[in-house]
Structures are given as structure tokens and as C-alpha cells.
Structure 1
Amino acid sequence: MQKCGMSVHARKKAKKTLEQEIVVQDGQVFMLPEETLLYIFKYLNISELIIAGSICKAWRRIAYDDELWKRIDLTYRPSSVHQLMTFFKRFDRSITTELRIQGLPKGYTKFKRVNLCQCSKSLCDQIQKSYKNLKDLYMFEFSFRETHDRAQHISCLPRNLESIHLIKCEMPMMTIQGNLDFLMVKNSMDFFLPRLQVLSFKNSPCITLLSVSYLPKLCPNLIELDLSKCCRISSSRSLSIMLMSYERTLRKLHLQQTNIDDDTIHCICRKLKRLVFFDIRECKNVTIMIVPNLCTLNQLQTLLAEEQLLNAYVEMKNMTQDEENETDAICID
């Protein structure tokens, strides 16, 4: 016998499941102060937070507290563009200042991914619409090319961002066919990012020397630049010119696993005197001969490099410090 398209067995099973989901609200957890629950909810991811908000009205009020939605991290699981669009429309928050998303690869198999998730212009537009006060945007494993509704240029992203992190992403680059480069700025008056202070293309192989040459016009006030694992970045005059244009602002520079050499390091040490963080790990063309130049970066607090180079730098830095102390002692006497 069936009723409303559901068998007796199915109705009993559904009723039993519903009874199991009923939460008795006289337990000790419901007697906790709101401040304690708010502290506990900070350790939940967004999905768990939404579930907690469906338990009761009191928990819903806490789960949707502005403090918990300043930072939205959706990287706990990859998402398709459709899933992200649905989430952004449902949970738009003017309080949100940081957003992290990870694309769901198309044609994903157990052993490898076939294609990255295609980032559409409509997705970027929805981000701007739903999170008007967004400052920090992290995008993992997205492709900005070969889409019908494509976001082929960085201008698709919100203009008021203070940091952009495009990690393991694929962007269009200039080719002999004349394709538009993702960072290409035809007219700096049309689009530029005056508030942008942090820019990361970590592990994005499509970033080329031509791409980074557009950065000074696009984002003139960079404090931190991350080109780690961008295999197309190598020593060249265009790279040196680009880096030197940031001599007044740049404080942190990441060049891990790039193809730079001692000449580029020399140029950096000569012009970027404000550096406090410098990462040159696994740069095969950088030799120990560059250590004296590195010691001229007086404001440098953190140097990440190969063990041999780092030990030589520390030793020379200590020797220099000892000589300065002896000189000061002589002057006092």
C-alpha cells in the first residue's frame, strides 16, 4: 500500500529518522552563555555553522553573528561555479572582508584532474554584489580562460581589494596569436588597483615576464608580491625594472622556485632597501656569491634560502655586527 507516493515502510523510516534528529533543548550545551557558544562556533567551518544555525532560534542568532562572517572560507571542499553562485546569493554579507574559494575541477578523476574550474565573469560580478566591503580575496585552482562567460582580465575582480591571491590558477597570456594577457593594461586610467597591497600568483605557471611588466601601472602601491613556483619567471631586464619600480613600497618578496640568478638578486639588494622578508628557496641559479649583497638589506628580518647560503648569510651578518660593536666601543673609549 502506498500513500502520496511513499510506501508504509518508507514513511516509518522517515518518521524514525525525524525522531532521531529532534534535539532536546534541556541539555547542558543549551545552558552555555552566548559568549561561550560564539567562541566555540569560531572553530566551525561555514557548512557546520549553517547546520548549527538550524538547530534553534538561539543558535541561529549566534551562528549568524557578524563576528563569524567577517571571514568566509569555502576551501574545505572544492565547489563548482553554480554552487558558489548559489551560496553568494543566499549568504550575502556586507560585513565580510575576507573570502576564500576553491574551484571544483572538471573531469576530475581519482588519479588526476583534467581541467580547472572555469571562473566566469558572472561569478566575479556576484562576488562584488554580495560582498561590497571585501578586502582580501583568495581563489584556488581556477581558470580565467576558455569560458563562454569568461573573466579573461583582472579587471573582472573587485577594485577595492587590498589583497588578491590567485593560487594554482591559469590565466590567459600574450601569445603570437595576439591573445590578451590577464594583467595587460591598455590604459591605466581605465582600470587600476590603487588599494591593492598584496598580490600572489603562487604556483600559477601562466604568469610570464611580460605579465608582471604590467604590474607597476596596475597596482602601484604593492607591499607584498608572491611569484613563488611561477616557473616562467627568470632573470631579465623587464623583471628588474618592474621590481625597482616598487623601491618605496615593497616589503615582502617571494621568489621561491623561480629561475632568477645573482644579477637579479644584486638588483633587488641595490634598490629594494625596505625589504623585511625575502624568499629565494630552491632558486637553482642563485649562488653563495650573492651573500655580501644580501647583507646590505639592513631592514631584512626574515631570509628563506638554501641551508648553505643561509648559513653564510648568518655568519657574515654576525661578523658585521661584531665589527660594528667593536667600533662603537672604541668610539666610547
Structure 2
Amino acid sequence: MPTRTDASQITSTCTIENLPEKCLLHVFSFLHQRELGKLARVCKKWRLLAYNHQLWQVVSLRPEYNGLYVNSFENLMALINVRFGPSLRYIELPCELVTSPILHELSNKCPLLKNMTLDFSNAMQLHDFNDLNSFPCNLRSLCICLSEVIFLEGFMRRIYSCLSSLQVLHLIGTFEMTSEGDEDVYEVVNIGKIKAHTPNLRVVNMYGITFIDDSHIELLTSNCIHLECLALNFCLRVKGTSFKTLIQRCKKLKSLLLQHTGVENENMVNVSWETSQLHELDLTSTELSAECLENVLVRISYFTYLGLGHCEFFTDKILGEMVKRGKFRQLRAIDIGNTPALSENAIYNFLQTNGRNLHGLVLSGKPKLTENFWLNVIAFLPNIRTCVLGTANGWFLKLTTKVHIDQVIEGFAQNCPNLMRLEIQWDPDTIRFSDKSSKFVDHIRLKCPHLKSFTLSDGEYYEMVKSNFERADRVKVVRSTTNYNTSIISLVSCFNDLLFN
């Protein structure tokens, strides 16, 4: 048995300085790049490690998205040469750093660069690109954040010839910054010319673009026959007239995301859905009628992902018909939150039959589904990973009885070992808990080891749960519904390609 002196000698030699460089490099890889700059000041050894190319493969230069701030072109040019070099794989550039010399340098010095984000959303004026002669030509993914009024055709004309390798294209609009009173809408980028130079596109994400309509979708489908996923979320001018052509030409299309679009009944009914390979569909916050929903949903072969949140006319009849025809046999995720036409009994029967296969379920905004319902159905969800339940605060959804939260938490702890994200929307005036509630929180924390996000309404119960997890050194798990919303979108097959910002 070692003496106290021996133990102290062992302890004194086990310092961070004695770790192999490979281990230190791995430790450094978990730090933000701003922190690496501080570590570089410690000593020469740490400086060499902090500036190792392996730690600079993914770089964001957008401070507003937690990226690095670079104050001059000269400094960025030096970084590309000295620090990024041949290992750089992904870079985000704000509009002020998108210049011809910088793009030339990235093209010449970073042969492994595959993913790029160019953020023009706050641009007031573009640089002159007349002398732009080279651009990274092996890109797999390109994200362009559009401005409301800055036209990009002059810039795009210089880079079209370098886009043939693209498989993923994001065009991000200004929906969140535009007020309803704005009438002037400008087509700031030419979709027709983009599609002519990108024949290998698999994933196209057009998010919140005010000028996008069906004519642009029609143009896109004429050359992108390999398209597998098309996301048009928050593109309000999309009515669906192009979808018939889309399904006819893009035989590989399997995912169509139409959240908060302007799709119309007649256009959706006219599509030959039965001939498609589509099995992921999001119609959240659309205004399709019950007849249209039934017509469309029963003609699609099967679903692995289905978003119907806030669809007022999705009824028991439609759900029953889909169950009867076996549309849910391969279902992995479904959003039927805020669907007033769905009854408790229909939902219960659906989950009893299909719940075992579900990895994601959104069933919020339904005030009649209280703890008695959940205590009966949680056992049907042994493989659930993401679940959203409860009713958000609102006078029109107020409950007359309290919800006993402890047994609901215990139900998830005992039946859902794979749970990763849980959101409970009942407000503090609705939830009832006791002095022993911490014991049930202990259970879900211990029996659901993969739990990354536990979201609750602000209040006394939220503070108690947050304190419980923090005492166990899991400080980032418990969140508030005021600044975080849980979604099942991560269960879409091409989710990683849909990520931006």
C-alpha cells in the first residue's frame, strides 16, 4: 500500500502538463474558438496546440451567431493562410467579409472546403465582384442568407460555374424581419439561373423568402431530377400549382416540408400523390380543408414523418381511415398538436396501435388530455425520444382542474428509457406538485440518461426541477418555454442537411 509521501508524489506528477499532446488536443476540441485564442497565451506548447489545423476545420465569422469577430480583411487573409489552411471544411462569412480577395484565398488555400454560408441579410451595399475569378468549386453545401433589397445577381453571375458540385442549397429569406404592411417584394436572386448550374441538388431549403412562388418551384424541378428533399417553410406565396410537375419530374423526392405556406385545396388534390415516393410531409399551419386532407393523405403510400400541427380540419375520420389503410406502419414521428377536431378517444386508439414505433410525438394544445390520459398512453411509447404535451398558458385553454404532474413524470421515467427531449406546456396555475416531487424528478434524471432537454413553463415547479438537475451537474438540461421550443423536425431523414445558422 503506497505511503502518504508516495501518493503526494504521484499527485504532483499528474498535471495537465504531463498529458500527451494528443489528449490535450482532444480536450481543446471541446472549446469555442474564442477560448482557444485565450489558451494560446498560456505558453508556447499551448499556443502550437490551440492553433492546430484540426481545431479550425469549422469556423464561423458571424459574431451575432456566436462566431468570431474579425476586424479587417488583412487579418482574415492571415488566418486563412496561417490557421485555417488545408484543413478548413466549413466557414460562415458575414457580408462585409465576402470580397473577391478573400474568396480567391479560400479557393486557392482550402481544398477541403465543402460547406459555406454567405450572410447578406444585413447588407446595405455589396463589394465589387467584377474581378472575382475564382470561387471554391468543390462545395457540397451552400447557404445564402438573402437581403430584402440587395440584388445578388452580379455576384451570382461570377460563381455559377463553380456550383455544379452542390448537393445542398439553402436560400434563407427575411420572413422574420418583414412586417405584414410591407408591399414591395423584390426578386433578389435568380432561381432560374441557379437551377441551370446545379444539376446534382438533393436538398433544397427555401426558408421564409417573400418572393418565392410556384413559378420558381417549376423552374427548379426542370433540372434537379435528383431532388430528395424540398423545404418551403414560411414561403407564403407558394400555393401548390407547381406540385403536380414536381412529383412528375422528381421521382426521388421523399420529403416535402410546407409549414405555414399558402397551399390551396384544389392544387393539392390535383397532384398524383399515389405515384410519388414521398413519405415525409409537413403541413403544419396550413389551411387545407378536411376533404383535401383526406384526399391527399390517403393517396400517399405511407408515412415515416407527418406534421399536422394547427391543422383545424384534421378529423377523427381522416385519422381512422389512414390507420385502416396502414399509412402509419412505418411512422417514426407525428405532430398532431393543436388539432381541435381530433377527439381523445381517436388519439388514444391511434397511440395504442402505433405508439410503439414512435420516436417523436407532439400532442400539445389539447386541454382535455390531462394526466389521466397520459398515464394510460405513456406505456404505449417505449421508444419515444421527443415528446411535447400539455397546454400552453391562455385564457381560452384554461383547465378547471389541476394536473398532478408527479405521476406523469414517473410514467416517462419507468417506460421511456430513450427519452431525449421532453416539453410539458402546462402553466404554473395548472400544475400541482408536492414536497415529494423531487423524488420523481430524481427518477426521470436517473432512468432517462439520454435526456438533453426538459422544458417547462416558468414557475415554482420549473425552479425546483432546474435545481435538481443542476445539483447533479446537468446544468443545461432544464429549459423554459419562454425561450425554447421543442420540435420533432430532427427526426426528418435529411435533418443534418437542413440545418442552417
Task: State the TM-score, normalizing by the size of structure 2.
Answer: 0.44
Provide the rounded CA distance (Å) in 1 between the counterparts of 2:130 and 2:280: 34
Does the aligned pair in 1 maintain the 2:225–2:249 contact within 8 Å? yes
The answer to whether structure 1 residue 183 and structure 2 residue 183 are counterparts is no
Provide the rounded CA distance (Å) in 2 between the counterparts of 1:150 and 1:54: 43
The answer to whether structure 1 residue 151 and structure 2 residue 155 are counterparts is yes
How far does residue 73 in structure 1 lie from its aligned partner after superposition?
3.5
How far does residue 301 in structure 1 lie from its aligned partner after superposition?
0.3
For residue 21 of structure 1, what is the aligned residue in structure 2? none
Distance 1:262 1:35, change over 3 A: farther
Aligned AA (2:122):
L
Distance 1:121 1:184, change over 3 A: farther
Partner SS, residue 201 of structure 1: strand
Moved more, 31-40 or 243-252: 31-40
Aligned AA (1:183):
I
How far does residue 165 in structure 1 lie from its aligned partner after superposition?
1.3
For each residue in 1:44-72, what CA deviation from the matched residue of structure 2 results, as whole angstroms up to 9, or x when unmatched?
34444454455544444444555444433
Aligned AA (1:293):
V
For residue 297 of structure 1, what is the aligned residue in structure 2? 300
For each residue in 1:249-294, what CA deviation from the matched residue of structure 2 results, as whole angstroms up to 9, or x when unmatched?
1121111111102334334562562223211111123546423531
For each residue in 1:72-101, what CA deviation from the matched residue of structure 2 results, as whole angstroms up to 9, or x when unmatched?
344552699996966763325444444445
The answer to whether structure 1 residue 41 and structure 2 residue 28 are counterparts is yes
Superposed counterparts of 1:160-179, under 5 Å: 160-168=165-173
Partner SS, residue 205 of structure 1: coil
Distance 1:312 1:158, change over 3 A: farther
How far does residue 196 in structure 1 lie from its aligned partner after superposition?
1.9
Select which of 254, 259, 263 maps to 1:256. 259
Does the aligned pair in 2 maintain the 1:185–1:214 contact within 8 Å? no
How far does residue 202 in structure 1 lie from its aligned partner after superposition?
0.6
Select which of 204, 224, 232 maps to 2:229. 224
The answer to whether structure 1 residue 207 and structure 2 residue 218 are counterparts is no
Provide the rounded CA distance (Å) in 2 between the counterparts of 1:220 and 1:137: 19
Gaps of 5+ in 2: 1-12, 97-120, 176-185, 330-501
Does the aligned pair in 2 maintain the 1:206–1:232 contact within 8 Å? yes
Distance 1:101 1:251, change over 3 A: farther
Provide the rounded CA distance (Å) in 2 between the counterparts of 1:83 and 1:301: 47
The answer to whether structure 1 residue 282 and structure 2 residue 297 are counterparts is no
For each residue in 1:9-37, what CA deviation from the matched residue of structure 2 results, as whole angstroms up to 9, or x when unmatched?
xxxxxxxxxxxxxxxxx994444444444
Provide the rounded CA distance (Å) in 2 between the counterparts of 1:228 and 1:144: 21
Distance 1:262 1:212, change over 3 A: same
For residue 402 of structure 2, what is the aligned residue in structure 1? none
How far does residue 136 in structure 1 lie from its aligned partner after superposition?
1.9
Provide the rounded CA distance (Å) in 2 between the counterparts of 1:30 and 1:61: 14
Provide the rounded CA distance (Å) in 2 between the counterparts of 1:49 and 1:311: 56
How far does residue 228 in structure 1 lie from its aligned partner after superposition?
0.5
Provide the rounded CA distance (Å) in 1 between the counterparts of 2:26 and 2:143: 25
Distance 1:82 1:248, change over 3 A: same
Distance 1:311 1:88, change over 3 A: farther
Task: State the TM-score, normalizing by the size of structure 1.
Answer: 0.63
For each residue in 1:295-327, what CA deviation from the matched residue of structure 2 results, as whole angstroms up to 9, or x when unmatched?
3323420001126628765543333349x9xxx
Distance 1:290 1:55, change over 3 A: same
Partner SS, residue 59 of structure 2: strand
For residue 270 of structure 1, what is the aligned residue in structure 2? 273
Does the aligned pair in 2 maintain the 1:226–1:253 contact within 8 Å? yes
Provide the rounded CA distance (Å) in 2 between the counterparts of 1:30 and 1:310: 65
For each residue in 1:193-237, what CA deviation from the matched residue of structure 2 results, as whole angstroms up to 9, or x when unmatched?
12221111111212122222210244332111111101111132x
For residue 59 of structure 2, what is the aligned residue in structure 1? 72
Provide the rounded CA distance (Å) in 2 between the counterparts of 1:201 and 1:84: 31
Provide the rounded CA distance (Å) in 2 between the counterparts of 1:50 and 1:80: 10
Partner SS, residue 248 of structure 1: coil
For each residue in 1:169-198, what CA deviation from the matched residue of structure 2 results, as whole angstroms up to 9, or x when unmatched?
59xxxxxxx988611239x8xx42122211
Distance 1:145 1:253, change over 3 A: same
Distance 1:185 1:103, change over 3 A: closer
Partner SS, residue 138 of structure 1: strand
Superposed counterparts of 1:41-190, under 5 Å: 41-53=28-40, 55-77=42-64, 89=77, 90-91=79-80, 93-101=85-93, 116-117=122-123, 122=129, 129=135, 131-140=136-145, 142=147, 145-146=150-151, 150-151=154-155, 156=160, 158-159=162-163, 160-168=165-173, 182-185=190-193
**Greater RCO structure (CA 8 Å; 6+ sep):** 1
RMSD, aligned CA? 4.4
For residue 474 of structure 2, what is the aligned residue in structure 1? none
Does the aligned pair in 2 maintain the 1:185–1:218 contact within 8 Å? no
Does the aligned pair in 2 maintain the 1:100–1:137 contact within 8 Å? no
Partner SS, residue 325 of structure 2: helix
